[in-house]
Amino acid sequence: MQLRYNYRLDPSPGQIAALSRVFGCARVVFNDALRLRQDARTAGLPYLSDGELSRRVITEAKRTPEREWLGEVSAVVLQQALADLNTAYRNFFSSLSGKRKGRKVSPPRFRSRKDNRQAVRFTKNARFTVTAGRKLRLPKIGDVAVRWSRDLPAAPSSVTVIRDAAGRYFASFVVRTTDEAWPPVESDTGIDLGLTHFAVLSDGTKVTSPKFLRRAHRTLRRLQKELCRKKKGSSNRRKAVVTVARAHARVADARRDWQHKLSTAIIRDNQAVYVEDLCVTGLGRTRMARSVHDAGWSQFVGMLEYKAARYGRTFACVDRFFPSSRVCSACGVKDGPKPLAVRGWTCLACGTVHDRDVNAARNIRAEGRKVTAGQAETVNARGAQVRPAPMPAPRRETGTRQKLTPTAA
């Protein structure tokens, strides 16, 4: 399977200027290609092929005085910018036709030079190498110092140089590795994700939510207030933007590190892991939005999924409409709905006293076993378009209803 290995870079001032030039050239090529395709669509011309697009915005553009500086960077970076545009169009067309699962994808948009996050990709054709001195040699940039936290398991097929909003530089290597199957174990577990307790396992283990964003909220609010007081376009405002981005980066890094450690421990100790498919987008629109985004459920579930595939474990998602909190895990009787304030309840059929979260985790484990065996029932439309299509309002409903005035008899 393909994995990404991220490492921190320490470029020199000259290399930072060279990287900024590379970011700008890739952004210009992407925007020029997008403009050509939009103009062709507006004029009713055929869809521009990839080869024609490359010839216009790269080969011929380098010969013009307005774009001759494109030759100062590696041509592979410019070709990869066009590849990103083609991928965005394919995703958009697949979303329109229904081939792409998930939410609808919008058409590609222009890249802004004011975006604090920039990225470029070097493939094997660019001939990037890791030198004997353990530096990353990039074409027309030089040997960049790397903070090697661990060795690469194999030769990388590509590397993406990223500058985040906090002004940090990273190298993301794509490496194809072989699966490392861990010794099998007997146990399996169901996980009920929540807010008070980040995760409750079916064996009764409760993992308290660290709430990284809540703990840093006062600091973030103070820094954001200082940013709002700075004059737009000033140097102090640019410095304040970086300060706020670094504070958010510390929160995101701490959350990611904690979730990596927890997901690795769960995958190591269980042969099969089952979770509930939560609608994080919908929950993010409720009054609990800050706590939901602070928890980072989607990122954690993604870690469990790829680590299970890598280490030979079983992973399955239970349908989000499965009533895990309403079913008694002892006798299987379905009780009525319960508000979130009810943290424990007693089954009227068998008299078993349940903890709400532990009972839900046990039901998720039981349903996950059925999903793995192919015995689970479909309780929703499974991605079908169930929302009614928009319709124009009748003519009598448009506008404002005028107030009637009494007439004299």
Closest CA to 9 of 122, 132, 138: 138
- Annotation marks residue 357 as catalytic: yes
Q: Average pLDDT in the 136-151 region?
A: 95
Element (H, E) at 116: none
Collapsed DSSP state (helix, strand, coil) of residue 354: strand
Of 14 and 356, the structure prediction assigns the larger pLDDT to 14
Catalytic residue among 294, 305, 357, 367: 357
Give residue 109's pLDDT. Answer: 95
φ, ψ for residue 43 (rounded to 5)? -80, 0
Residue 329 predicted with pLDDT over 90: no
Catalytic residue among 276, 294, 305, 367: 276
Of 313 and 400, the structure prediction assigns the larger pLDDT to 313
Collapsed DSSP state (helix, strand, coil) of residue 165: coil
> Do residues 271 and 313 touch, judged by C-beta distance below 8 A?
yes
pLDDT category at 201 given cuts 50, 70, 90 is very high
The C-alpha atoms of residue 33 and residue 266 are separated, in whole angstroms, by: 46
Cα of 170 vs its chain's centroid, Å: 17
The two beta strands, 314-318 and 272-276, are parallel
Domain ranges of the chain: 2-176, 188-320
Q: Kindly report which listed range (38-47, 156-165, 212-221, 397-406) carries the lowest average pLDDT score.
A: 397-406
Contacts of range 79-83, beta carbons closer than 8 Å, 24 or more positions apart: 79/54, 80/26, 80/120, 80/121, 80/122, 80/123, 81/26, 81/27, 81/29, 81/30, 81/33, 81/120, 82/29, 82/30, 82/33, 82/50, 82/53, 82/54, 82/57, 82/58
The C-alpha atoms of residue 74 and residue 76 are separated, in whole angstroms, by: 5
Give residue 381's pLDDT. Answer: 46
Per-residue pLDDT reduced to its tens digit, 53-72: 999 999 999 999 999 999 99
Of 336 and 238, the structure prediction assigns the larger pLDDT to 238
Q: Where are the beta strands (DSSP E) in 302-407?
A: 314-318, 344-346, 353-355
What average pLDDT does the chain have?
89
> Do residues 264 and 180 touch, judged by C-beta distance below 8 A?
no
Catalytic residue among 32, 192, 294, 367: 192
Per-residue pLDDT reduced to its tens digit, 337-365: 888 888 888 888 888 888 889 999 999 99
Q: Average pLDDT in the 192-205 region?
A: 92
- Annotation marks residue 164 as catalytic: no
Element (H, E) at 241: helix 235-269
- Annotation marks residue 192 as catalytic: yes
Q: Average pLDDT in the 165-184 region?
A: 90
Per-residue pLDDT reduced to its tens digit, 361-398: 999 999 999 998 887 665 554 444 545 555 555 555 44
